[in-house]
Amino acid sequence: MSRRYFLEASIVDSKTHLAGDEAKHLAKVLRARPGEQVTLFAGDGLEHLAQILSVGKSQIELGILSSEEVSRESPRFLRLAVALPKGDRQRFLIEKCVELGVSQIVPLVAARSVAQPSGKALQRCRRYVIESAKQCGRNQLLRIDEACTAEQFWNQETTGRRLVAHPYGEGLTKFNALSGEDEVTIAVGPEGGFTDDEIAGAQSAGWTLLHLGPRILRVETAAFCVAARLLD
């Protein structure tokens, strides 16, 4: 796979251009020259082989050589509703979820949440998604929704199987019970855990509790555990 660059909009012509940080990286860091080839994607499922036509100060012109639909998606749609940690742990969580094939993240605001992603923080999260998709070859972007409170989320219309990862109480322990499900939503709580009221709210809205084993996992480990066990 040649080096991948992200375009903000789908390609509709035989020529396109890169601007901003993508162009700067290609021109200044990699010292790209006309004639060299790169791969472009816009998150719409297509992958394009492109040849550099000209390298300007702030813009790189490219000609499209070929375009094809290339899916590196998991056959199962996994939506993770996560009470996100802060800082580097948040970035790590999002990057690994992209690599593991998670389709959607809903930032969950629970009573014990430490991060309430909105505005610039959400933009940063979406930037991590693009960086990670460039690296791992996904041509569809993991979608990051607006933040939602746990109470709202339990009562939202969500298709497919709905589970709350919770270390205590009765619940589902075997992932093979999910083998026939092609859409699964799993909620992961904050470092301090979901409150009893939140767990009761989820159960009365029809959510099933899910155990991930006898050890208490950090938020990001719980998210990776679920993704690694459910996604190809």
Applying CB under 6 A, the residues found at the interface with ligand SAM are 165-167, 188-189, 191, 193-194, 211-213, 215-219, 222
**Burial class of residue 157 in the structure, from the number of CB atoms within 10 Å of its CB (0-12 exposed, 13-18 middle, 19+ buried):** exposed
- Name the closest residue to ligand SAM (Cβ): 193
Residue number with CB closer to ligand SAM (120 or 215): 215
Residue number with CB closer to ligand SAM (44 or 191): 191
Q: How far is the CB of 222 from ligand SAM (least distance, A)?
A: 4
Residue number with CB closer to ligand SAM (11 or 80): 80
| Location of structure tokens 């690994």 | 96
Q: How far is the CB of 184 from ligand SAM (least distance, A)?
A: 15
Q: How far is the CB of 218 from ligand SAM (least distance, A)?
A: 5
Q: How far is the CB of 138 from ligand SAM (least distance, A)?
A: 25
Q: How far is the CB of 128 from ligand SAM (least distance, A)?
A: 20
d(CA 41, CA 108): 29
What secondary structure does DSSP assign to 82-143, as a single string?
Answer: E----HHHHHHHHHHHHHHT--EEEEEE-TT-S----HHHHHHHHHHHHHHHHHHT-SBPPE
DSSP letter, residue 23: H
Residue number with CB closer to ligand SAM (27 or 226): 226
Answer for the pair 63, 14: CB distance below 8 angstroms, yes or no. Answer: yes
Residue number with CB closer to ligand SAM (28 or 218): 218
> In angstroms, what CA-CA distances link 10 with 14, 22, 169?
12, 16, 48
